[in-house]
């Protein structure tokens, strides 16, 4: 069975000019973030029509059957709105999965990096000494996030395997979830998770040949992320 996966980070959010740990805080897309997703949606119509990324058309032909077979997303509004924009041209509704939520940063949520160091120095030092196992108070560790993200991907693939034929799907999630999935598929040690960049509105392309993943693109999409040619 062959499944092409478009793994997408949601578009830019309101207040993105200040880098804060948003986690489970339900922050909406910014105007720019909506534009990013609209450009990406248009691009994916072209990519699915021609069977390859990189040659986008402006719209699907009249009467064309849906080109994406399914779109999965986190239940946070920034991901849901992004997924609705992606799914719209294909006449499908996103499958909402709470398991695809961003990492829960606990008491750190809503804070900047400097605020965390200032207000929770002991917590910060414990995390810095063991970033994989330590979790902020009331939050998740990186290992716990990994376990949740991997189970979510396995659930999606099990659902897709129950359907006949080759498929093209999209997963709209968050920076942390996407990094985990990419590290897992590429065999990258979890301690190197932040060596994988995931910009707002980025596109990753994964081809699954039965259970064998081939990652074709990471953090792609200058044209739809920034509106440049």
Confidence (pLDDT) at 60: 38
Give the total number of structural domains in the chain: 1
- Contact 40/203 with Cβ under 8 angstroms? yes
pLDDT tens digit string along 79-113?
Answer: 999 999 999 999 999 999 999 999 999 999 999 99
Instruction: Provide the domain limits for residue 103.
Output: 2-226
pTM over 0.85: yes
Task: Evaluate whether 158 touches 124 at the Cβ level (below 8 Å).
Answer: no
pLDDT at 66 over 80: no
Domain at 90, CATH number: 3.40.50.1240
CA gap 89, 77 in Å, rounded: 19
Helices (H), 187-216: none
pLDDT digits (tens, 9 = 90+) for 155-202: 999 999 998 889 999 999 999 999 999 999 999 999 999 999 999 999
d(C-alpha 95, C-alpha 84), whole Å: 10
How much is the mean pLDDT over the chain?
A: 89
Distance in Å from the first CA to the final CA of the chain? 35
Residue 52, C-beta contacts closer than 8 angstroms, at least 6 positions apart = none
């Amino acid at each position: 069975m062959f499944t092409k996966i478009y793994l997408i980070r949601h578009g830019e959010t309101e207040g993105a000019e200040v880098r804060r740990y948003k986690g489970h805080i339900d922050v909406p897309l910014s105007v720019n973030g909506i534009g990013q997703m609209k450009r990406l949606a248009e691009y994916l119509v072209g990519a699915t029509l021609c069977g390859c990324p990189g040659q986008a058309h402006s719209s699907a032909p009249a009467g064309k059957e849906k080109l994406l077979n399914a779109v999965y997303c986190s239940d946070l509004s920034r991901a849901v709105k992004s997924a609705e924009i992606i799914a719209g041209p294909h006449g499908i509704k996103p499958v909402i999965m709470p398991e695809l939520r961003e990492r829960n940063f606990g008491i750190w949520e809503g804070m900047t990096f400097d605020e965390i160091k200032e207000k929770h120095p002991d917590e910060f030092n414990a995390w810095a000494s063991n970033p994989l196992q330590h979790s902020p108070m009331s939050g998740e560790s990186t290992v716990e996030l990994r376990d949740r993200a991997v189970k979510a991907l396995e659930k999606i693939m099990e659902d897709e395997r129950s359907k006949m034929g080759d498929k093209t799907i999209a997963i709209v999630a968050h920076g942390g979830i996407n990094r985990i999935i990419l590290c897992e598929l590429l065999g990258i040690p979890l301690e190197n998770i932040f060596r994988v960049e995931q910009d707002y509105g980025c596109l990753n392309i994964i081809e699954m040949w039965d259970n064998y993943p081939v990652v074709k693109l990471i953090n792609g999409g200058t044209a739809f992320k920034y509106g440049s040619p």
